[in-house]
């Protein structure tokens, strides 16, 4: 694996971790476990929103509507894992 392949693999790994944290924070906010009025939490949510939501929005535009269930983070994680596998398999 080249240096660029390793770098891309690690960036995708960190991004997938951020997607999971973003979903968990949104779940905790929806159940009022975390107060979104907190300045630090609001700053974290805003920065993660800017990083993750554009890709989720593109995936949501392609997926059919499942009502209140949002599976776009799962699809995004599957796509990330597929790209990571391709990087490892083809030594990009």
Residue-wise pLDDT tens digits, 19-78: 999 999 999 999 989 888 889 989 999 999 999 999 999 999 999 888 888 899 999 999
Residue 7 scores a pLDDT above 90: yes
With cut-offs at 50, 70 and 90, classify the pLDDT of residue 2: confident
Q: Return the domain boundaries, the chain.
A: 3-89
Q: What are phi and psi of 86, to 5 degrees?
A: -65, -40
Chain centroid, CA 76 distance in Å = 7
Q: Supply the pTM of this predicted model.
A: 0.89
Q: 83 Cβ partners below 8 Å, 6+ apart?
A: 8, 12
* Residue 74 near residue 3 (C-beta atoms within 8 A): no
Count of CB atoms situated within 10 Å of the CB of 87: 19
**Tokens coding 72:** 């776009």
């Amino acid at each position: 694996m080249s240096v660029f392949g390793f770098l891309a693999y690690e960036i995708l790994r960190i991004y997938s971790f951020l997607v999971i944290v973003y979903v968990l924070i949104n779940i905790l906010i929806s159940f009022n476990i975390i107060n979104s009025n907190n300045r630090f939490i609001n700053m974290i949510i805003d920065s993660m929103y800017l990083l993750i939501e554009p890709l989720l929005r593109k995936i949501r535009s392609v997926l059919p509507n499942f009502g209140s269930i949002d599976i776009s983070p799962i699809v995004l994680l599957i796509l990330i894992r597929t790209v990571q596998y391709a990087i490892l398999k083809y030594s990009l």
